[in-house]
Amino acid sequence: MTLAEKILAAHSDRKKVSAGEFANVKVDVILSNDITAPIAIREFRKIGVKRVFDPAKVVMVPDHFVPNKDILSAEQTKFMKDFAREQGLVYFEVGQMGIEHVLLPEKGIVLPGDVVVGADSHTCTYGALGAFATGMGSTDIAAAMATGDIWMKIPPTIKFVYHGRLGKWIGGKDLILRTIGDIGVDGALYAAMEFTGEAIDALSMDGRFTMANMAIEAGGKAGLFRVDQKTLDYVKSRAKRPYQVYEPDADAEYARVIEYDVSNMEPQVALPHSPANVKPVSKVGNIKVDQAVIGSCTNGRLEDLQVAAQILKGKKVHPEVRCIIIPGTQQVYLDAMEQGLIELFIKAGAVVSTSTCGPCLGGYMGILAAGERCISTTNRNFVGRMGSPKSEVYLSGPAVAAASAITGKISSPDELGL
């Protein structure tokens, strides 16, 4: 069995499962946020049960429109918070919260071998920990809150092997953008994406979270990494309950095996209006930008801010560019502050926000006007994603976003002599 099949078999009390079969799968963590939780709560009420199956396994995180941007978002958050208090769920208030997919691993809520379902498409982020994690609709989440089970079709697995040594400014975002650029936004449709190879072994946990996060942008059901020493070191101080590490079998059957040599790869950029419209940064051309966003559940972790700081140190954001930096959690913000990164960003002319999804989904904290262009470390660049349908979003890693904020056009750090 593949890694995904091993985890799903264990959670459905079966010795073996195969792609295409249906299974009732027990879940370890159920997640929703300030957009999706109210829908799930209303559907949960319709089921007729009084209590969730296990309040310790149901997590609600307000992160999309918080701190509340208007009356409607305040009412959404209050509705969720009241239900969480009534049921005794795991809930994070402003000041303790963060972007959900950065927060849950940091808090040790998700661990290796878990099955995690979330009413948010980027729930697949937790595959970086060797968990099977996938997004679902709010109605499915309501049923999971009531029963602790999900009914699902076992996905096939595509194995991605990355050979070679990563260059100086190359991170997980570049690897996943190149992959999506190669296979397309439906290239892994309803498949588990298993990431391996020597380049993956060298990748940090933050880089792995970034790759797993964007499995959904390739159509994937989940994106998974094998548990290694880096994973164990990450969870060691965070785990507050037992967990089980699963390994794929040597003779596991994969739907496809796709291999890349990433030794000489440039930083990658996804042009409008698709995460699959990918080019090396040197081939993008002279694209002026009005805004740079560094943050989100894709690239709002400490390492991302450290990379941006290396580039912004001693330099100034271009006078015609808004540079918005959003630490993924309070802890990321605090660590960045202790390392002097926040002061560095402000002196460079950037603005630093409290943790929020904010501009990624066109929520607030960086909405684009018609004709404006943004270079962003977020995960989607569909028409109107960050504001006006006549604006444009270009996706990159933090190195390109920071360099572009300085030059005023999409640029590689190499253009700054770095």
Q: How far apart are CA 189 and CA 231, in angstroms?
A: 27
Closest CA to 357 of 95, 138, 62: 62
Tokens for 361, please give them: 């989904």
**Average pLDDT estimate for 396-411:** 98
Which residues contact residue 169 at a Cβ distance below 8 angstroms, ignoring those fewer than 6 apart? 267, 307, 397, 399, 400, 412, 413, 414, 418
Instruction: Say if residue 80 is in the same domain as residue 24.
Output: yes
In our burial notation (b when 16+ CB lie closer than 10 A, e otherwise), range 152-185 reads bebbbbbbbbbebebeebbbbbbbbbbbbbebbb
What CATH number has the domain bearing residue 359?
Answer: 3.30.499.10
Instruction: Say if residue 42 is in the same domain as residue 128.
Output: yes
Q: How far apart are CA 183 and CA 163, in angstroms?
A: 17
Sorting pLDDT into bands at 50, 70 and 90, what band is 75? very high
Instruction: Say if residue 249 is in the same domain as residue 364.
Output: no
Instruction: Say if residue 197 is in the same domain as residue 102.
Output: yes
Sorting pLDDT into bands at 50, 70 and 90, what band is 139? very high
Instruction: Say if residue 253 is in the same domain as residue 276.
Output: no
**Average pLDDT estimate for 152-160:** 98
Judged against a pLDDT cut of 90, whether residue 418 lies above it is answered with: no
Instruction: Say if residue 242 is in the same domain as residue 286.
Output: no
Domain boundary among 260, 288, 311: 260
Instruction: Say if residue 117 is in the same domain as residue 178.
Output: yes
Domain boundary among 260, 283, 318: 260
Number of domains within the chain: 2
**Which range of residues forms the domain containing residue 186?**
3-260
Instruction: Say if residue 50 is in the same domain as residue 195.
Output: yes
Instruction: Say if residue 204 is in the same domain as residue 283.
Output: no
Instruction: Say if residue 217 is in the same domain as residue 343.
Output: no
pTM summary value: 0.96
Instruction: Say if residue 283 is in the same domain as residue 233.
Output: no
Q: What is the pLDDT of residues 249-269, one digit of tens each?
A: 999 999 999 999 999 999 999
Q: How far apart are CA 171 and CA 267, in angstroms?
A: 8
Domain boundary among 238, 260, 282: 260
The total of other beta-carbon atoms located within 10 Å of residue 103's CB is 25
E strands, 137-191, where? 149-153, 157-163
Judged against a pLDDT cut of 90, whether residue 66 lies above it is answered with: yes
Residues facing residue 150 across a β-bridge: 25
Instruction: Say if residue 69 is in the same domain as residue 215.
Output: yes
